[in-house]
Structure 1
Amino acid sequence: MNLCILDSGDEFQALPVSDRRAQHILRVLEKRKGDRIRAGTSDGRLGYAIIDAIGNDEITLHFFPESLAPPLRPLTVLLGTVRPIQGARIVKDLATLGVASIVFFPTALGEKSYTQSNFYKRKEYIQHALDGAEQAGNPRLPEISIAWSLKKALEAIEHAEGTKLVCHPDIAALPLSQIQVEQTPVILAIGTERGWTQDELALFERANFSLCALGDRILKTETAAIAAVSVILSKLNFL
């Protein structure tokens, strides 16, 4: 945890000693009363917090904002629903890289039961986004949502201007490394490991998405997501 992300911008905040942040502060960092830690809030304020008190049930932090964190990257990822354990890793890594938003949606060839897991239904992905933001040292969190079909996912971004790309291993698809990203935001669609149907590709075409490829190797969804996002962020001069 490179940054303690607080629940609000209140000057004084209490964390239960059972809270993972409190556990990290006391057991890993071995901080004591009066010590200082790096802290921030999800609205983008960065600064530090001083441990004001340590009790049996909670610790009290005094937050001092100093600056605003850099904004998130102008990149939205449309992502086919994956196994919760994969989703957790993807969300954490994409939050660490600073993507602005993630939209999950079930694909025609993907496993439908994944959407019934607590990861999606109870928004367990939020905690993994927090983990990624803490790692990055930037408290801004990506906006994460669930669209219950590809059509709904595309409707959510239909008015967005910018560069729209869909990863697909097709002979007609340009390698992502060769694609010019001339407009932001970038909207990137990545499917599940079984790929897209022709009907889904037709929906992307009608929504003005361009095909892009990630080489000749078969990638897991999480590998494809990190690789593609990294290439795009490099093109946008963030890496």
Structure 2
Amino acid sequence: MNLILLAPEDLHAPHLARVRDPRRLRHLKEVHRAAPGDELTLGVLGGGIGRGRLLSLEAEEARFEVDTLDQAPPPALDIELVLALPRPRMLARSLEHVTALGVKRLTLLHTRRVEKSYWQSPELRPEKIHEHLILGLEQARDTRLPEIELATRFKPFVEDLLPGRLAARRGLVAHPGMEQACPRGLTEPALLVVGPEGGLIPYEVEQLQAAGCEGIHLGERILRVETAVVALLARLG
């Protein structure tokens, strides 16, 4: 937790904040080893970043004196990510990674090789998704939550929604065997599609390309989805 991220309800006066949830309190004690008088980086969800002084740290509450939170969060990554729904355990890590990298719009997509049972996972509950997004923001010292969309049907998404998304963005689909290597350092808005652990089937690749996506690859190595997503976003950004 490189940023103590405050919810608006944590602010109780112009210069006073209270943190009461067990996760943040535990992190303050065990990781930061914070003590009254310490200065830490604070941010408010959806707002600015600044510094605050820890006034007290008790079993059930931490109190901060808050300076002006007027610093802007890091710039967003101008890449929309469309990710075939990963396995539940991998989903949690992926949400944290892409949030930390600055993605602000993520669509979780059903494809042929996505197990239908994944859509019933507790990790897709709104509160669980929110928890992982918050962890990603804290890691990157960001305050702006990504927008998450669940697309449980491939064909309606590709035929009805994707063309509009690509009207002002360069579409890219990452898939082994594509002719074009992943570009570096894009200077234009983009939309990146990444398939599931077993890959996209040929029909899905064809449909994505027909909608306007260019096929790209990361080389000869076959990577886990969570590794590939981080590598792609880092290279494109």
CA 55–219 in structure 1, closer or farther in 2 if over 3 Å, else same: closer
**Mapping for residues 110-149 of structure 1, pairs under 5 Å:** 110-149=114-153
CA 28–80 in structure 1, closer or farther in 2 if over 3 Å, else same: same
Note if contact 1:163-1:181 (Cα within 8 Å) is conserved in structure 2: no
Note if contact 1:94-1:226 (Cα within 8 Å) is conserved in structure 2: yes
For 2:94 and 2:24, the matched residues in 1 are separated by: 22
Identity over aligned pairs, percent? 27
Give the SS at the match of 2:193: strand
Give the structure 2 partner of residue 15 of structure 1.
Answer: 19
Give the SS at the match of 1:62: strand
Deviations 1:160-193, CA, capped at 9 Å, x for gaps: 31211001123x531114x784531x10000012
Note if contact 1:49-1:63 (Cα within 8 Å) is conserved in structure 2: yes
Give the SS at the match of 1:99: coil
Give the structure 2 partner of residue 168 of structure 1.
Answer: 175
Quote the RMSD (CA, aligned, Å): 2.3
Give the structure 2 partner of residue 224 of structure 1.
Answer: 228
The gaps in structure 2 that reach 5 residues or longer are none
**Mapping for residues 200-239 of structure 1, pairs under 5 Å:** 200-233=204-237
Structure 2 letter corresponding to 1:204: L
CA 180–231 in structure 1, closer or farther in 2 if over 3 Å, else same: closer
Give the structure 2 partner of residue 3 of structure 1.
Answer: 3
1:38 is displaced (CA, Å) by 0.6
Deviations 1:108-151, CA, capped at 9 Å, x for gaps: 12211111001113451322222222121222332222111224
- How many residues are aligned here? 229
TM-score by length of 1: 0.85
Note if contact 1:8-1:41 (Cα within 8 Å) is conserved in structure 2: yes
The gaps in structure 1 that reach 5 residues or longer are 234-239
Note if contact 2:74-2:141 (Cα within 8 Å) is conserved in structure 1: no
Structure 2 letter corresponding to 1:163: R
For 2:139 and 2:46, the matched residues in 1 are separated by: 17
For 1:209 and 1:27, the matched residues in 2 are separated by: 46
Give the structure 1 partner of residue 88 of structure 2.
Answer: 84
For 1:97 and 1:81, the matched residues in 2 are separated by: 19
Structure 2 letter corresponding to 1:165: L
CA 52–167 in structure 1, closer or farther in 2 if over 3 Å, else same: same
Q: In structure 2, which of residues 164, 184, 201 is the aligned counterpart of residue 159 of structure 1? A: 164
Note if contact 1:105-1:147 (Cα within 8 Å) is conserved in structure 2: yes
For 2:192 and 2:180, the matched residues in 1 are separated by: 14
Question: Which piece of structure 1 moves more, 51-60 or 85-94?
Answer: 51-60
For 1:54 and 1:168, the matched residues in 2 are separated by: 50
Give the structure 1 partner of residue 71 of structure 2.
Answer: 67
Note if contact 1:71-1:140 (Cα within 8 Å) is conserved in structure 2: no
